[in-house]
Chains A and B, each alone.
With several copies, the nearest count.
Chain A
């Protein structure tokens, strides 16, 4: 039987390598899919060889658990709409955190960990995993619309810190105790779960992607720590790789949103407008016929999609319009701001879903110089990412965020429903500019009308 264990260990090494290579393959859209497929096979191998781990029993129940958990997740993952992706990622992530916490709980229940580094990391993993579990559930509930309000306690931050301190002290006591009592252990888990809930509850839905990414890194760390407790380096490697990459990803997102992570967690945006200079002048409306004509007879159009396009689910219509315009000889490309929408790469995923090839899609640095040569910049449900105040108005909450230079195009057409502000809740100077026209309506409907008119212009 010892031989079998060695083979399993070796197989795990291979699995860890494939995981890393799979993540590496995700650095380019051309290889990304291959990467996840490899990683998927590695996961299957890991699961199968684990069945031969020496001295295991309870197989029947284990397989039932795997089948239920796996198939429920598989099915829901197949059903979910692209726009609901963030909450789905959140809930799967929470489950990983919960599994890590449950591993620690079982080890404690069986009295298998005591003293030293092992106990410390077991407790730490349990704490982080529990927070990731309950926090992710809250994130899911919010984004899914189950939990509508942002609950705030008075003195929220003090409460958070106080509870965290209590949990930490209790955890330390458990880690150093010779035989921690079940009561203390149960209390520890309950408080850790509560911590996850109260920390995430006050955070607004729009900040959620950052939180989800952070909780993803948390789960990675929890898995890594429990891997050490179990003496399973494959878990350590996979967990820590995700912990590190998740942390980096969170930082990149927070930076792109111009909002330090500490602010996301401790001073959530409350929804009230937050300063910014008042803007003089008025917005000018434009009909969909005029908009269609302007674009149909342009030679170069740059489309800037934003959160509004996502909620309207208008990406298919937008791509239909793009193809019509291209048939008419217009050059159409997409300009994507790094934080357009509500999750990183949000617009790319939606446009990809609609079938837009990724070589028509350019990011901020690639395209910003081209606006001056464009006849039309078509802004669809985007707001903050084209707000020129970010360049000049020091009092604006988005001051300093790089923006897409839509205002430099010959004509700007903005599709939105009304005078609603964007995520940051501030006015947009672009809409008052001389060369800007508003095409009011929900994105789906407005673009639909434009399509009808463009079709009628075909000769």
Chain B
């Protein structure tokens, strides 16, 4: 039963992603690409959970977990920084003209 509910989550999430993105203008496609890149950086929390349950006495498990958390954190932090930098550059001319 649980599996089926997850299937609904999959389907609805896919639909939501599709709907949200189909409204984004071309001008924002690059920031959008890096923004959605940032969103999947939430893999970090998954990495934290598996690392948190790794056997503290197994160097192999710890190493893989460490690697996962490191990569996840890099995905999240890097995705955020570049997206924010790009979007900060988009300004409307309205204010400028008022100067």
Establish whether A and B are touching in the complex (CB under 8 Å): yes
- Chain A positions near chain B (C-beta within 8 angstroms): 9-10, 12-13, 15-17, 19-20, 22-24, 26-30, 32-33, 35-37, 39-40, 43, 46-47, 50-51, 53, 55-59, 61-62, 64-74, 76-78, 80, 82, 85-86, 88-89, 91-93, 95-96, 98-100, 102-103, 105-107, 109-110, 117, 212-213, 216, 219-220, 223-224, 226-228, 230-246, 248-249, 252-253, 256, 336, 338, 343-346, 348-349, 352-353, 355, 357-361, 363
Q: Are A220 and B52 in contact (CB under 8 A)?
A: no
Give the docked Cα–Cα distance between A26 and B33 (Å). 11
Q: Are B72 and A99 in contact (CB under 8 A)?
A: yes
Most buried by B among A36, A212, A219: A36
Residue of chain A at shortest CB distance from B96: A357
Residue of chain A at shortest CB distance from B10: A240
Contact with A along B84-95 (1 / 0, CB 8 A): 111111111110
Give the docked Cα–Cα distance between A71 and B1 (Å). 34
Q: Are B74 and A73 in contact (CB under 8 A)?
A: yes
Chain A residues within 8 Å of B32, by CB: 23, 26, 245, 249, 345
Distance from A219 Cβ to chain B, minimum over Cβ atoms (Å): 5
Number of interchain pairs (Cβ within 8 Å): 405
Distance from B79 Cβ to chain A, minimum over Cβ atoms (Å): 5
Chain A residues within 8 Å of B38, by CB: 36, 39-40, 43, 92
Q: Are B35 and A39 in contact (CB under 8 A)?
A: yes
Contact with A along B38-81 (1 / 0, CB 8 A): 11111111111111111110001110111111111111111111
Task: Identify 25 residue pairs between A and B in the complex whose beta-carbon atoms are under 8 Å apart, listed by A's number.
Answer: A13-B8, A20-B15, A22-B39, A27-B20, A29-B28, A43-B38, A58-B56, A68-B73, A72-B74, A73-B73, A85-B82, A96-B72, A99-B43, A102-B65, A102-B71, A234-B45, A235-B42, A241-B17, A241-B39, A249-B33, A338-B26, A346-B30, A352-B90, A353-B89, A358-B93
Chain B interface secondary structure, helix, strand, loop or mixed? helix
Give the docked Cα–Cα distance between A71 and B70 (Å). 10
Chain A residues within 8 Å of B65, by CB: 58, 61-62, 65, 102, 106
Give the docked Cα–Cα distance between A46 and B3 (Å). 19
Q: Are B70 and A360 in contact (CB under 8 A)?
A: no
Q: Which of B1, B48, B66, B76 contacts A70 (CB 8 A)?
A: B76
Chain B residues within 8 Å of A17, by CB: 11
Give the docked Cα–Cα distance between A228 and B8 (Å). 12
Q: Are A96 and B71 in contact (CB under 8 A)?
A: yes
Most buried by B among A46, A240, A355: A240
Residue of chain A at shortest CB distance from B88: A33
Distance from A287 Cβ to chain B, minimum over Cβ atoms (Å): 32
Given known pairs A23-B20, A345-B27, A346-B30, the reply for A236 and B37 (CB within 8 Å) is no
Q: Are B62 and A58 in contact (CB under 8 A)?
A: yes
Given known pairs A37-B84, A96-B71, A213-B33, the reply for A58 and B17 (CB within 8 Å) is no
Give the docked Cα–Cα distance between A220 and B40 (Å). 6
Distance from B7 Cβ to chain A, minimum over Cβ atoms (Å): 6
Distance from A358 Cβ to chain B, minimum over Cβ atoms (Å): 6
Give the docked Cα–Cα distance between A359 and B45 (Å). 39
Given known pairs A36-B35, A50-B48, A231-B1, the reply for A96 and B90 (CB within 8 Å) is no
Q: Which of A59, A65, A213, A242 contacts B39 (CB 8 A)?
A: A242
Give the docked Cα–Cα distance between A59 and B65 (Å). 11
Give the docked Cα–Cα distance between A252 and B96 (Å). 32
Q: Are A220 and B36 in contact (CB under 8 A)?
A: yes
Residue of chain A at shortest CB distance from B29: A344
Residue of chain A at shortest CB distance from B18: A244
Q: Are A95 and B75 in contact (CB under 8 A)?
A: yes
Q: Are B73 and A69 in contact (CB under 8 A)?
A: yes
Q: Are B45 and A46 in contact (CB under 8 A)?
A: yes
Most buried by A among B8, B36, B70, B72: B36
